[in-house]
Amino acid sequence: MIPASIALARILKQEGTEFLFCFPTTEIIEAAAIEGIRVITCRTERTVTHMADAYTRVHNGKRIGVCAVQAGPGTESAFVGFAQAFADSSPILMVTDAAKRNRVGLPSLSDTVGNYRGVTKWADTINAPDRVASMASRAFTKLRNGRRRPVLLELPGDVADEQIDETKLRYVPARSYASAADGKDISRAIELLLKARKPMFYVGQGVLWAEAAPELREFAELVNVPVMTTNLAKSVFPEDHALSLGSAGAEVTGMNDHFLRESDLVFCLGASLTQSLAAIAIPRPKTIVHCTDDAGDLNTEYHLTEHAVIGDIKLVLRQLIDEARERGGRPDDGAAAEIAKLREAWLAQWMPKLTSDETPIGPYRVVWDLMNTIDRSRAIVTHDSGTPRSHLTPFYSAPLPRTFLGWGNAHQLGSSLPLIMGAKMAAPEKLAVAFMGDAAFGMSAMDLETAVRENIPVLAIVMNNSWMSTYSKRIPEATKRYKVGYMSANYTDVARGLGCQAERVDRPSEIVPALKRAIAATENGQPAVLEVMSKVEYSSSRFGATGP
Ligand SMILES: Cc1ncc(C[n+]2csc(CCOP(=O)(O)OP(=O)(O)O)c2C)c(N)n1
Ligand SMILES: [Mg+2]
């Protein structure tokens, strides 16, 4: 006989759980430790959920990030991370406790399941020990199939302690299933593509989750169509490829702006077409072909979608390739040459900022130096909210899938540090970099201590402009009278106090050497912080016609 909590921990192991991201306490923490799952304690529940989120993303959902916090204060504090994982469609699992059976429904207790309904695909209570296996199976089936979204399971303390017969505990890990599309829909999609005057691909993160980057590339090259990705999908198509238009969220590359305006057909692959800071709106009128695995995405942001293809995007891409090849592909209409010219003109316009020697240091110079110093094919780089996202995402060129972590339909300030920590847990061999502002740092920096304690050697680049520059223009009176948005500290001292290697740089010439020392520290197992004394930089690569 074994307690129900041990049974659940064994099931988690069968589902491939290596780590339990947690803040004490709830019964599954002790059970997981007994069963040999490494338990990682963070400083806040928000970090717990963000780490699980990025861990899942980097594994493309093949391994699920699992977290555990206490019901009540813990689940209320973890809500932030769930809201973000839900908005970005990232499947994570939370296991928490709940009221004992003889106290269910009392008004003093928080209704976790009720509160989490809006940020989970499924939230429920394991209310009897013999339901552990069936409810865990249902949870992992939902996490691995259909729309990817978080799940919460409550394991109340009294249920957790009840004994079950382990010989009767049979568990088969949940797998995912994929269906191809209707052949008629594929034919029509290719017909529209082949007769378009100037088509473009609008690629969403579904292609990343389906691990369909090779098929995407094959299709783009076969039909000679330029490829735009959303920020969430950034890195799924090599951004140094001749057909790459780069990414487009709130900020847009010059190439994307041009094609979004000029194209007659926007052919969407693995995108929900949600408009947000992480995914740009499509200017209308325009013909839209929408390939998604979720029919619920259709005619949501855009009504009058011309045509849709419903199916798993990896299988759909293969069907599209076969159909297009049968029809002889699509001739080269000079798209690559046009993109090259547009890229050159756009970069020429930004090069003075990207290579600026000014002080305080301009953020674009940091982006440029970072890009040209690190081995981007062996890194994962992510941005925070605010102007760091604006400065980094359009210009950073990501060469391989998941070398960049775009996020942010809910764009929680301060997420980049816990996200990059979770990413590093999933891919310890990669250099893991978060690019963040000073206000963002204030929201999550205490978890650098977690990074030090748990040996998660990430690098945080903190742009210290002593300001929430994002909003300073919108609150001039509040700023003048009450200094709203102004904040100042020595973050290098803070980071050193938490056990990191840390340096503050004032001059542009110091960036690269300091970056190299920080990277060396991470390679020796120590988390690092590079604090850049930076100017407030308002300009960003936004365009009226295609901006949010
Ligand atoms: C939790 C949360 N609260 C508020 C916001 C709104 N917000 C977005 S950016 C920002 C200020 C960012 O300041 P900082 O990190 O210093 O970056 P900067 O814009 O100065 O480069 C705020 C308050 C948010 N995204 N998340
Ligand atoms: Mg700032």
**For 224-261, how does the pLDDT look when each residue is reduced to its tens digit (9 = 90+)?**
999 999 999 999 999 999 999 999 999 999 999 999 99
Please tell me the residue having the least CA distance from ligand 1 atom 24.
413
Question: Of 111, 138, 168, which residue constitutes the final position of a domain?
Answer: 168
Q: What is the pLDDT of residue 302?
A: 82
Q: What is the pLDDT of residue 547?
A: 52
The CATH number of the domain holding residue 507 is 3.40.50.970
Residues 396 and 433 reside in one and the same domain: yes
Number of separate domains in the chain? 3
Asked if the structure places residue 275 within a domain, the reply is yes
Report CA(436)–ligand 1 centroid distance (Å): 10
Residues 328 and 376 reside in one and the same domain: no
Please tell me the residue having the least CA distance from ligand 1 atom 3.
413
Asked if the structure places residue 453 within a domain, the reply is yes
Question: Of 168, 197, 226, which residue constitutes the final position of a domain?
Answer: 168
* Cα 498 to Cα 520: distance, rounded to the nearest angstrom: 18
Residues 88 and 210 reside in one and the same domain: no
CB 236 within 8 A of CB 216: yes
- The ligand with the least distance to the CA atom of 442 is 1
| pTM, entire model | 0.98
Q: What is the pLDDT of residue 214?
A: 98
Q: What is the pLDDT of residue 262?
A: 96
Tokens of 240: 């140094």
Sign of CA dihedral 499, 501, 505, 508: negative
Q: Which residue, among 23, 37, 31, 124, has the nearest Cα to 76 in the 3D structure?
A: 23
CB 540 within 8 A of CB 249: no
Report CA(462)–ligand 2 centroid distance (Å): 9
Residues 400 and 300 reside in one and the same domain: no
Residues 404 and 507 reside in one and the same domain: yes
Pocket of ligand 1 (CB under 6 A): 385-388, 411-413, 437-440, 463, 465, 467-471
Residues 321 and 457 reside in one and the same domain: no
Asked if the structure places residue 73 within a domain, the reply is yes
Asked if the structure places residue 296 within a domain, the reply is yes
Pocket test for ligand 1, best of 49, 251, 391, 413 (most atoms within 8 A of CB): 413
Pocket test for ligand 1, best of 47, 79, 470, 474 (most atoms within 8 A of CB): 470
The protein residues having their C-beta less than 5 angstroms from ligand 2 (an ion) are 437-438, 465, 467
Residues 403 and 506 reside in one and the same domain: yes
Residues 209 and 145 reside in one and the same domain: no
Q: Which residues of the chain have pLDDT under 50?
A: 548
Residues 143 and 282 reside in one and the same domain: no
> Structural domain of residue 76, as residue ranges?
2-168
Residues 50 and 139 reside in one and the same domain: yes
Pocket test for ligand 1, best of 435, 468, 475, 537 (most atoms within 8 A of CB): 468
List, for residues 441-452, the tens digit of each pLDDT value: 999 999 999 999
The CATH number of the domain holding residue 323 is 3.40.50.1220
3 state SS of 442: helix
- The ligand with the least distance to the CA atom of 464 is 2
Backbone angles phi, psi at 499, to 5 degrees: 105, 10
CB 1 within 8 A of CB 162: no
Asked if the structure places residue 543 within a domain, the reply is no
Asked if the structure places residue 82 within a domain, the reply is yes
Residues 289 and 372 reside in one and the same domain: no
Q: What is the pLDDT of residue 228?
A: 98
Tokens of 46: 């928000």
Question: Which atom of ligand 1 sits closest to the CA of residue 80?
Answer: 1
Asked if the structure places residue 176 within a domain, the reply is no
